[in-house]
Amino acid sequence: MGPRLLILHAGTAATSNVMRSLRAGDATVFIAGCHDDAFILKNSGADRNFLVPSSARPAFVPAP
């Protein structure tokens, strides 16, 4: 199993470029993407995508 990465704001142009570059360097990398907007997340090229709540909403649990 290769490296596993979580990419935040998946589906944007910037993160698409990062994912493409990572895969060009190592084809075994597993990329999980997450975003709080389902319409933007649909553009993600990650292996697995997750819809997460916005950090501005009470459903988001802040990290200590």
Reading the block at residue 50, the tokens are 């997750």
Predicted local confidence at residue 54, as pLDDT? 85
Q: Give the pLDDT of residue 63.
A: 56
Amino acid present at 18: V
**Model pLDDT for residues 17-61, shown as the tens digit of each residue:** 999 999 999 989 999 999 999 999 999 999 999 999 888 887 777
Per-domain residue ranges of the chain? 4-51
Handedness of CA 13, 32, 49, 62 (dihedral sign): negative
- In this predicted structure, the answer to whether residue 11 has a pLDDT above a threshold of 90 is yes
pLDDT for 53 = 87
Backbone angles phi, psi at 53, to 5 degrees: -70, 155
pLDDT attached to residue 30: 96
Burial grade of 25 (CB within 10 A; 0-12, 13-18, 19 or more):
exposed
What per-residue confidence (pLDDT) applies to 28? 93
